[in-house]
Structure formats: structure tokens, C-alpha cells
Amino acid sequence: MRRTFYQYLMSHRGGQKSDPRALFAEAAFLDHEFPKTETGFDPLSRYLEERADPDMPSRVFDELWEEYMESD
């Protein structure tokens, strides 16, 4: 069974403060409404567009999504 994007994202948590992926992961962890069970691009992308959190920019999401799709 494929892990969720959130589960993948948590592998980046705790990294360097200068790492945009670590900042994104930390922001997602602190966001109690983040779609933690989602595995689909469109719902996650839509959520992030509506949220517009400066610590979760779409550029970083796109990079993380590509890595997520290559994982597992």
C-alpha cells in the first residue's frame, strides 16, 4: 500500500532551517487541517492554493511531489 503524501513529507521534517523542504514539512505538520490521508495531486494542490501559506509554496510542493511519485 502506498504511503500518503503527508507520510512521505514527514521524512523531511527536522532538517536544516535553510532547507525549503524541511520548512514545508514543518508547516504541514503544524497545519491541523492538512489533508493527511491524501495521495492525489489535485486535492493537495487545491488545498495548498487555497491555504496560500508562505512556508508551503507551490514550487516546493511540485518538487516534493515529483520525489514522492518516484518513491515507494
Q: For the segment 7-65, what is each residue's pLDDT rounded down to a tens digit?
A: 999 999 998 989 999 999 999 999 999 999 999 999 999 999 998 789 999 999 999 99
Q: Between the CA of residue 71 and those of 4, 8, 49, 52, 67, what are the distances in Å?
A: 11, 9, 24, 26, 6
CATH number of domain containing 39: 1.10.150.260
Calpha distance 30→71 (Å, rounded): 24
Query: For the chain, what is the domain count?
Result: 1
Q: What is the pTM of this model?
A: 0.90
pLDDT of residue 51: 86
**Residue 24 lies in domain:** 5-70
pLDDT of residue 26: 96
Calpha distance 70→49 (Å, rounded): 23
pLDDT of residue 1: 72
Per the CB < 8 A criterion, the answer to whether 4 and 43 are in contact is: no
